[in-house]
Amino acid sequence: MIKIVIFLVASLAFISCQQKQETVATQDTVNEEFPFFIPAEKPNRPLSAAVKRNYDAYDNIRPEQTELYTQFKYTKLKGFDYNDGDGTITRRDPSKVIFENGKYYVYYTGRKSPVKPVGMARAKEATDVIPSADWDLSDIWYATSEDGFTWEEQGIAVARPPKPQPGWRSVTTTDILKWKGKYYLYFQAFMEASGLRGDFCPVSVAYADSPDGPWTHTGKIVIPNGPEGAWDQYSIHDPYPLVHDGKIYLYYKGDFDKRPELKPSKIRMQGLAIAEDPLGPFIKHPLNPVVNSGHETTLFPFKEGVAAIVQRDGQEHNTIQYAKDWVNFEIASITELLPVAAGPFVPDAFTDTKNGRGITWGISHIINADGNWNHTMLVRFDCDLSQDVDDQGMKDHHYNYSPEFHFKHALNQKQKERIKKQTEELKININ
Ligand code: AAL
């Protein structure tokens, strides 16, 4: 009996001492500094919200080791002439790049007009030869390349159709789908000069048996504007098809909510419409909008999900995002100098892949290329958003912007006057 009592007392003493040690350890941990060598795994200790986010919100705590982090490098393209930037030629909003017949193809908005655009604000002055916006009175052009750097413009792929077909005013901002051996070009189909009411248009589609055409207009609106009061009731922009789950996942932008008191709106969002056939019907996702920022949609299959380059507008601009389910996007990384209206080379865009490899280059555009808002130019971007490449030269951070670049973003007169007034008020209060 005595032995049992002694054993029980000893056990209780051991457990109590053990608990104290753990408590002491916890106390010590709380008082311990965060370690010099950053733990690769989330440490079992009190953490600030920010450090918790480092472990919970991102694939890796280090950008340079994050597959969906990259910087972007740019190269001027050879083969495109812009009439010395006088505004009579513009090329913009390129499609994804495809590789067929031993060369690269890219499709884009091309405008060649006798005069430069008058601007959306003066859309009433536009005629059937005077463009309102940079993308007004445009056709879908295309070019080919052996190396992705020097391009040969081949001409118009999809021309404006006759009235009253969708796109008779302008066909723009196209993207390509390859499906069961045929090619489809989705595009914004303007039926009024952009700027008259807004940048309003639905999306139509043309098809061909070859990437060189000839292209046949369907004359159909395949992504219609939403119902009155809906977020996408006026503008269906930037159609961007990918193949997933045996269907066509077409992402697009809806320009909306530009109330005068909110001008100029700094937010754009992206939606998703899904179809089993390239000519529709496309069913818009009930959770639309699915991306809360961005301007032109740029996406690519990555692992089992889809990644998005989200640039220019909205709270989450300058991010690369990821949706494992192709619908619910989370921020994967934050970066800078993102390609605008990017059309990446996505080898597995149409293969219904279950393990998307990612991208390393594509074509994007630079608006206001001449500084007087006359035209937009196509450029090449390179990056490392690929499972098959580890280019640490693309995983750097903090571009060095020159003093001239900084001083180009100068105070305006109103800001100078506010600052002057603040200083004067300080002097008055002191005296
Ligand atoms: C682009 C795209 C769409 C808009 C206009 C031309 O950046 O968002 O195509 O309509 O601007």
DSSP string for 138-194:
-EEEEEEESSSSBEEEEEEEEPPPPTTSTTSSEEEEEEEEEETTEEEEEEEEESS-T
User: What integer pLDDT is reported at residue 220 of this predicted model?
Assistant: 95
Residues 157/176, Cβ–Cβ less than 8 Å: no
> Ligand 1 mean position to 23 CA, how many Å?
60
28 and 105 share one domain:
no
> Ligand 1 mean position to 422 CA, how many Å?
40
Q: Which of 365, 364, 348, 367 is nearest to 356 (CA)?
A: 348
134 domain-assigned: yes
424 domain-assigned: no
H or E segment and range at residue 301: strand 298-303
Residues 207/216, Cβ–Cβ less than 8 Å: yes
> Ligand 1 mean position to 8 CA, how many Å?
78
Average per-residue pLDDT for the chain: 93
Where residue 145 sits, what CATH number does that domain have? 2.115.10.20
Closest atom of ligand 1 to CA, residue 341 = 7
Pocket test residue of 108, 135, 197, 340 for ligand 1, highest count of atoms within 8 A of CB: 135
Pocket test residue of 175, 199, 378 for ligand 1, highest count of atoms within 8 A of CB: 199
349 and 200 share one domain:
yes
More confident residue, 202 or 297: 202
Percent residues over pLDDT 90 in the chain? 87
41 domain-assigned: no
State pLDDT tens for residues 323-332. 999 999 999 9
User: What integer pLDDT is reported at residue 12 of this predicted model?
Assistant: 59
131 domain-assigned: yes
State pLDDT tens for residues 50-86. 999 999 999 999 999 999 999 999 999 999 999 999 9
User: What integer pLDDT is reported at residue 96 of this predicted model?
Assistant: 98
167 and 293 share one domain:
yes
111 and 24 share one domain:
no
State how many domains the chain has. Answer: 2
216 and 284 share one domain:
yes
120 and 258 share one domain:
yes
> Ligand 1 mean position to 95 CA, how many Å?
12
**343: which strand partners?**
363
> Ligand 1 mean position to 409 CA, how many Å?
24
Nearest CA to ligand 1 atom 7: 296
21 and 121 share one domain:
no
Pocket test residue of 204, 237, 253, 298 for ligand 1, highest count of atoms within 8 A of CB: 237
68 domain-assigned: no
Pocket test residue of 132, 172, 293 for ligand 1, highest count of atoms within 8 A of CB: 172
264 and 316 share one domain:
yes
22 and 82 share one domain:
no
User: What integer pLDDT is reported at residue 363 of this predicted model?
Assistant: 98
Pocket test residue of 111, 132, 238, 312 for ligand 1, highest count of atoms within 8 A of CB: 238
Q: State if pTM tops 0.85.
A: yes
> Ligand 1 mean position to 238 CA, how many Å?
7
Q: Is 168 a residue whose pLDDT tops 80?
A: yes
Q: Which of 106, 102, 36 is nearest to 77 (CA)?
A: 106
117 and 21 share one domain:
no
Length of the chain: 431
Tokens of 11: 């056990």
> Ligand 1 mean position to 347 CA, how many Å?
25
Nearest CA to ligand 1 atom 9: 173
Structural domain harbouring 155? 73-394
338 and 270 share one domain:
yes
Pairing of strands 298-303, 356-366: antiparallel
65 domain-assigned: no
49 domain-assigned: no
Name which of 6-20, 131-145, 211-225 the model is least confident about. 6-20
174 domain-assigned: yes
161 and 267 share one domain:
yes
> Ligand 1 mean position to 429 CA, how many Å?
51
Q: Which residues line ligand 1 (CB under 6 A)?
A: 93, 135, 172-173, 188, 199, 237-238, 253, 295-296, 341
User: What integer pLDDT is reported at residue 66 of this predicted model?
Assistant: 95
More confident residue, 430 or 75: 75
Q: Is 388 a residue whose pLDDT tops 50?
A: yes
> Ligand 1 mean position to 295 CA, how many Å?
8
